[in-house]
Amino acid sequence: MKIKWITGLVTVLALAMLLSGCASGQSEKKSETAGQDGKQLVFGMIIKDPTAPFIQAFINGAESKAKELGVKVDIKDGQADSLKIMELMDNFIVQKVDGFIMAGAVDLKAIVPGVKKLNEAGIPIMALDTSPEGGKVDMFLSFDIEQSSKKAAEAFVQGIKDRNGGEVPKGVVVEITGSLEDMFTQACTKGFRSVVDQYPQLTVVQGEGKWNNDDSNKRTSDLITRYGKEIKGIYVQTPDIMGAGVVTAIEAAGLNPKDYGITGICMGPEGLQLINEGKVLAIVEQPAFESAQLAVQYLYDLKNGKEIPKIGDTVTKDNALWSPAKVIENPWADEGAYMVLQGPLVPLEVKADNPLLWENKLSSLWKQENK
């Protein structure tokens, strides 16, 4: 009887150990390269939704640059949950990481207490995609969402003119948006409206696509049902994660996507494919891969006592689609710089098969997934 009892207890403990033991095998091999003090540099990085291609581009960009410099990037999924993100930040502080990259949060106000803690611990911060709205962020690297949306909106209006004999007719344009509480969504809308509002004969109706194809599909279907032939064009804020849903909704209604001249920003492999199929007119590419590479490079430079670009500088690089990039003051955080990367308009400025586009650079990843 005693034996049985002990066996039970041991089983339970063994299970508990297994649960954590499966973890220890995962830790990576240390490489031999070092920072200033002879220890390998480790940068913490938090992402959201590891299944999204642009996040994959962040991951691959950061990891490829880390490999090149001989540093380690410790990537964690914050699941777009502010509490989870701050928990991971606390862990990074305990681990005494040498730098931190914030690559994807939804509620940018809620994570500020965590950012301030990192500031207190003296850990430099890079931000990608969206900038925390407080604390000190050493460098926020992104294309200008509003400017890029403006560029996409101009192509959108040009498309309407091309389909209507050079005129902008009276009618409705649909704007499929991301989550309405997101800073990204608001910037997209601002850029889009700054162009479209010049044409009072166009009425804008919004559908909240919430950054996914399921919602974008439903909203598009609803709006097509409601406005039918009045719709002159459909603008999708980010076709990489909402374009496919919009296209299938148009096709399901027995209509042709070509007649709606879809444009937006953030291409991704799905957007690229839709452009190649002629179902999407044009998209401004988000330099996701390059921004993550730059973030790792700048953290490395900071740690090795090198200068990183300051407010007022303009960074140029040959053969880089993001160049030239102006460095201005970060308008969202309390303190820090914002490096405004260029986003090329595909296929009008840069051809869809250009090997410099990360969608093509990482194409092996997507091809595996599409099998």
> Which residues sit opposite 101 in a β-bridge?
45, 126
Q: What angle do CA 259, 264, 267 make, to 5 degrees?
A: 110
Q: How far is CA 83 from CA 17, 135, 305, 336, in A?
A: 27, 17, 33, 24
Give the C-alpha separation, 236 to 250, whole Å: 13
Site for another protein in 164-203 (CB under 8 A): 180-181
Q: Taking CB under 8 A as the rule, does residue 86 contact another protein?
A: yes
Among residues 33, 64, 67, 77, which is the contact residue for another protein, using CB under 8 A?
A: 77
Phi, psi of 61 (to 5 degrees): -65, -45
Residue with tokens 């091999």, as numbered in its chain: 29
Among residues 34, 39, 87, 329, which is the contact residue for another protein, using CB under 8 A?
A: 87
Q: Taking CB under 8 A as the rule, does residue 93 contact another protein?
A: yes
Tell how strand 282-284 and strand 136-143 pair up: unpaired
Give the C-alpha separation, 246 to 214, whole Å: 9
Q: Which stretch binds another protein (CB under 8 A): 70-78, 153-161, 326-334, 338-346?
A: 70-78
Among residues 53, 54, 107, 140, which is the contact residue for another protein, using CB under 8 A?
A: 107
Nearer to another protein, 79 or 354 (CB): 79
On the 0-12 / 13-18 / 19+ scale of CB atoms within 10 A, 349 is: middle
Among residues 32, 37, 38, 94, which is the contact residue for another protein, using CB under 8 A?
A: 94
Q: Which amino acid is at 87?
A: E
Q: Taking CB under 8 A as the rule, does residue 76 contact another protein?
A: yes
Question: Are 124 and 302 spatial neighbours (Cβ–Cβ below 8 Å)?
Answer: yes
Q: Taking CB under 8 A as the rule, does residue 3 contact another protein?
A: no
Q: Which stretch binds another protein (CB under 8 A): 61-69, 109-117, 149-157, 300-308?
A: 109-117
**E strands of 72-210, at which residues?**
72-77, 99-103, 125-128, 136-143, 171-177, 202-208
Site for another protein in 11-40 (CB under 8 A): 11-13, 15-17, 19-24, 26-28
Nearer to another protein, 91 or 316 (CB): 91
Spatial CB neighbours of 179, under 8 Å, sequence gap ≥ 6? 106, 185, 208, 210, 211
Quick note: the x/- pattern for another protein over 112-141, rule CB under 8 A, is xx----------------------------
Q: Which stretch binds another protein (CB under 8 A): 111-119, 228-236, 244-252, 263-271?
A: 111-119
Nearer to another protein, 25 or 305 (CB): 25
Which residues contact another protein by CB under 8 A? 1, 4-5, 8-9, 11-13, 15-17, 19-24, 26-28, 50, 74-77, 80-83, 86-88, 90-91, 93-96, 106-107, 109-113, 180-181
